[in-house]
Amino acid sequence: KAGVTQTPRYLIKTRGQQVTLSCSPISGHRSVSWYQQTPGQGLQFLFEYFSETQRNKGNFPGRFSGRQFSNSRSEMNVSTLELGDSALYLCASSGALANTGELFFGEGSRLTVL
Amino acid sequence: AQSVAQPEDQVNVAEGNPLTVKCTYSVSGNPYLFWYVQYPNRGLQFLLKYITGDNLVKGSYGFEAEFNKSQTSFHLKKPSALVSDSALYFCAVRDRGSTLGRLYFGRGTQLTVWP
């Protein structure tokens, strides 16, 4: 079974631009979550989607948004990029029906903002 | 507020020796506890979890973790370290009342196993 796939793996943008990152969960998984990983802040939760509905959200500004499609694929968008948005963005999926399940992470999209 | 502490940024052990990576947490109620490992330029890989029951849980690659409710700790252990265990290890917790995708992570501990 294929794992969580994130595209693109690497990208470089300049301040003020916007970026869209894509995540394809493991087949059959309906829960998709996004995390930001930086050396300074560590791993921080962005948001979580289930069946096309956002059901949890972290403490990030409105420039960060996401959505989930009917096939469970998810995208996240960051508008008006800032230097501090440079990070590894990780997507995770789960097929668990209860909240005792573990998350399965993709390899991430590394964003560099110049 | 929920928080996870990994008091050691770096742990160095010799191959063949036992290893321990420490984790303490501050979460209301009885949280679910997890360990993940991250290799360079890769995502996180699940190692093990504690939900309920036996305080010693066994996971992937020979790792185990001991849950101690009174000390609110969940230390990761392995009886005999391998050089290939060298990686970044994260402890994470989930509040029982929270959603599936919401984990709180520690800052990570870099484990180096030298030959």
A residues 36-65 lying closer than 8 A (beta carbon) to B = 42-43, 45, 48-50, 55-56
Rg of chain A's alpha carbons, rounded to an integer? 13
Cα–Cα dist B4/B25, whole Å: 4
State what percent of residues in chain A have pLDDT above 90: 91
Q: Write out pLDDT tens, residues A15-66.
A: 999 999 999 999 999 999 999 999 999 999 999 999 999 999 999 999 999 9
Residue numbers in B near A105 (CB within 8 A):
36, 43-45
Cα–Cα dist A69/A72, whole Å: 5
